[in-house]
Amino acid sequence: MKLLSKEPTLHPTAVVEKSQLGIWTEISAHTYLSDSSLGDYSYVMEYNQIVNSTIGKFCSVASFVRLNPSNHPLNRPTSHHFTYRAAMFGFGDDDEEIFAWRKSNPVTMGHDVWIGHNATVMPGVRIGNGAAIGSSAVVTRNVDPYTIVAGVPAKVIRPRFSDHIAEKLEAMQWWNWSHETLRERLPDFRKSAEEFVEKYCGEQ
């Protein structure tokens, strides 16, 4: 049986650079994560490329997901990277302006976000707490909290919960509860969101 721990669990083929990983996190095989952060309890499945992204707590990222695929400059005579990765071609200095532009467009995900298989989230997109992204979606616009989107480009399929339940869950911030509290309250996490909110509304 696989047992995770406070120390992040990394598959030997995963590559993690310049990133922060929270407790109880997991990165699966052949995933590349760079200039990003992964909140507590979040996990990333196989063959992901995640760059310049902030991922909240308790997020589930399926396989073959791309978060923040870099854009190339389209206003130059060529979109090819020799104009900015010049050094590796022996053309002189790299063009830092392009890298700064990319840096200024991070992908930001809240807590309890589920990203379906093969989805792509474009630069600069913000995804709210509790949202779900369907398989193979291309997300080009911000996604509201507790909203399910899918398709190319991604459009709203339906809200995950009523506004009342979504607001209560967001206000409750259960994702900040301690490990012990989560263990204790696990039976309630297996009930409906309505019952959960009814029981814990008002608690921190």
Ligand X SMILES: CC(C)(COP(=O)(O)OP(=O)(O)OC[C@H]1O[C@@H](n2cnc3c(N)ncnc32)[C@H](O)[C@@H]1OP(=O)(O)O)[C@@H](O)C(=O)NCCC(=O)NCCS
Which parts of this chain interact with ligand X (CB under 6 A)?
Answer: 60, 62, 116-117, 132, 134-136, 148, 150-151, 157-158
Distance CA 151, CA 125 (A): 16
Q: Which two tokens stand for residue 146?
A: 């507790």
* Beta carbon nearer to ligand X, 46 or 167: 46
* Beta carbon nearer to ligand X, 76 or 155: 155
- Cβ of residue 37: shortest distance to ligand X, in angstroms? 21
- Cβ of residue 59: shortest distance to ligand X, in angstroms? 11
- Cβ of residue 15: shortest distance to ligand X, in angstroms? 21
List the one residue out of 68, 58, 65 whose CA is nearest residue 36.
68
Query: Could you say which of 72, 80, 164, 179 is catalytic?
Result: 72
Buried b or exposed e, range 109-136, using 16+ CB within 10 angstroms: bbbbbbbbebbbbbbbbbbbbbbbbbee
- Respond yes or no: is residue 111 known to be catalytic: no
Planar angle of CA 106, 23, 59, nearest 5 degrees: 50
- Cβ of residue 46: shortest distance to ligand X, in angstroms? 11
* Beta carbon nearer to ligand X, 86 or 138: 138
* Beta carbon nearer to ligand X, 24 or 43: 43
Paired strand residues for 155: 150
**Residues carrying an active site annotation:** 72
